[in-house]
């Protein structure tokens, strides 16, 4: 806090002011040096807090300065009134002295005229008295004019002192505003540099993510090319409830077989196994019927004698034909089931492998898309913030130029 002491004696009609203690700039320098020793790396919030503390300290110092200037102005007015009173008293005393001197001179002149009345005529004494009265009146008029001019000069001097004090106060306010503007300008420049560094880092991260996205897209294209070269087809496999669709790699033939049935992969395989079981049951039933027919034929031949060779051969050929047909169908069904099971096992292994690859690629792609959108959004926000800071910086520079011009104009006027 700045302490002021006003010296009571008057020196040439002015008040002498002495300043004790450090000024506001010294306090701010001490505080800045102390904060530099303690701060490691100031963030934006810490910088705002410091700026708010400086503004508060500056506001308190401004209030103290205003009170001191008001007190000084009051003291100057009081001192001016005292000086004016003293000058009036001194002028009154001087006027009384002049009057007494005038009376003495008149008395002396009267005595001289009385003494010299015998030597001069009555007319010459009357002329001398009239001249002395005129000179006394002229002196009184001149004394009044001098007193009026002195009073006006004292009032003008007091007004000039008041104007000088107000101009000094305005200069101090402008200096404080200039310091605030310079500090805010420096703070904005630091924030602008930090935002530029963040923008460069985000730009590098965006470039890196773009390269990774291109790499993943290349891997996906290579996967599709390999699938086409191997003659495989990607089929969508759904669960029984129709949710959680998955993809599987199968051959074209197996894909056609899977297209013949509807539902999930488990449902389709279950249908194929049921058809196989039905065919096997049908073959067993036919074999049982054939055995029954054979046994009945033997019984009939034993009771009625031997059948004709032609009828027996025809029945045997028909039975063999049916057996071969059913065996062929059974073998074909078993082969299809074996092929389906082998392709299913192979497809499941490929599905697992490609599924893991696809899931990883899709996850990486989704992450990259999310990160890319995030970076684009942050980039737009930083660009908007950068534009706002640039406009604010230009506005502050214009205000700083205006303050400098006003300060130079005030200095020229002073």
Strand residue runs (E) in 256-324: none
pLDDT recorded at residue 114:
45
Cα 131 from chain centroid?
Answer: 92
Whether residue 104 contacts residue 97, with contact meaning beta carbons closer than 8 Å, is answered with no
Instruction: Give which of 28, 97, 20 is closest to 57, Cα–Cα.
Output: 28
DSSP annotation of 19 reads E
pLDDT recorded at residue 180:
84
Dump pLDDT digits (tens) for 197-252. Answer: 888 888 888 888 888 888 888 888 888 888 787 777 776 665 555 555 566 666 66
- Give the three-class secondary structure for 296: helix
C-alpha distance from residue 40 to each of 35, 36, 389 (Å): 9, 8, 25
For the chain (414 residues), the mean pLDDT of every run of 10, in chain order, is: 38 38 50 49 64 76 76 75 67 51 48 49 56 73 83 81 82 85 85 86 87 86 81 66 59 66 66 78 79 67 50 73 81 80 76 78 84 86 85 85 82 74
Radius of gyration of the chain (CA): 60
pLDDT recorded at residue 229:
79
Q: Checking DSSP bridges between strand 17-20 and strand 232-237, what pairing results, if any?
A: unpaired
C-alpha distance from residue 129 to each of 30, 96, 98, 105, 406 (Å): 79, 21, 18, 11, 65
- CA atoms within 13 A of residue 29's CA, in its CB half-sphere: 5
pLDDT recorded at residue 364:
82
Dump pLDDT digits (tens) for 109-150. Answer: 545 554 444 445 555 555 556 666 667 777 778 888 888 888
pLDDT recorded at residue 25:
52
Q: How far apart are CA 388 and CA 298, in angstroms?
A: 109
Q: How far apart are CA 221 and CA 231, in angstroms?
A: 16
What DSSP assignment string belongs to 97-117?
A: HHHHHHHHHHHHHHHHHHHGG
Residue-level length of the chain: 414
Q: Which long-range contacts (CB under 8 A, 24 or more apart) does 6-9 make?
A: 6/71, 6/72, 6/75
Lookup: tokens for 98? 């002049």
pLDDT recorded at residue 196:
86
């Amino acid at each position: 806090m700045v302490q002021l002491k006003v010296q009571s004696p008057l020196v040439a009609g002015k008040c002498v002011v002495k300043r004790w203690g450090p000024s506001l700039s010294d306090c701010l320098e001490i505080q800045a040096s102390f904060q530099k020793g303690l701060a490691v790396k100031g963030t934006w919030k810490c910088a705002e807090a410091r700026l708010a503390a400086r503004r508060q300290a500056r506001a308190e110092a401004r209030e103290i300065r205003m009170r001191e200037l008001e007190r000084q102005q009051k003291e100057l007015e009081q001192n001016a009134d005292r000086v004016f009173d003293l000058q009036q008293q001194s002028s009154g005393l001087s006027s009384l002295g002049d009057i007494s001197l005038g009376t003495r001179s008149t008395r002396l002149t009267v005595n001289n005229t009385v003494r010299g009345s015998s030597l001069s005529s009555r007319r010459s004494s009357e002329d001398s008295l009239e001249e002395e009265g005129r000179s006394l009146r002229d002196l009184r008029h001149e004394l009044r004019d001098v007193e009026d001019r002195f009073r006006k000069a004292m009032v003008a001097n007091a007004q000039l002192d008041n104007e000088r004090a107000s101009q000094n106060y305005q200069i101090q306010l402008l200096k404080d505003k200039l310091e605030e503007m310079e500090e805010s300008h420096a703070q904005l420049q630091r924030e602008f540099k930090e935002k530029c560094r963040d923008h460069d880092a985000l730009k590098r991260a965006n470039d890196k993510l773009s390269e990774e996205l291109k790499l993943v897209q290349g891997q996906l294209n290579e996967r599709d090319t390999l699938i086409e070269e191997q003659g495989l087809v990607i089929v969508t496999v759904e669960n029984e409830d129709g949710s959680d669709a998955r993809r599987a790699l199968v051959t074209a033939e197996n894909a056609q077989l899977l297209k013949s049935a509807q539902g999930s992969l488990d449902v389709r395989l279950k249908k194929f196994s049921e058809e196989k079981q039905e065919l096997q049951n049908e073959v067993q039933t036919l074999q049982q019927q054939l055995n029954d027919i054979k046994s009945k034929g033997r019984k009939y031949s034993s009771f009625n004698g031997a059948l004709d060779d032609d009828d027996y051969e025809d029945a045997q050929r028909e039975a063999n034909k049916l057996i071969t047909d059913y065996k062929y169908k059974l073998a074909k069904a078993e082969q299809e089931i074996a092929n389906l099971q082998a392709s299913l096992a192979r497809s499941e292994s490929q599905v697992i492998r490609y599924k893991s690859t696809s899931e990883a690629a899709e996850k990486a792609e989704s992450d990259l898309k999310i990160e890319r959108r995030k970076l684009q959004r942050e980039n737009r926000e930083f660009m908007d913030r950068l534009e706002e800071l640039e406009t604010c910086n230009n506005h502050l520079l214009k205000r700083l130029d205006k303050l400098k011009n006003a300060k130079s104009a005030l200095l020229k006027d002073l």
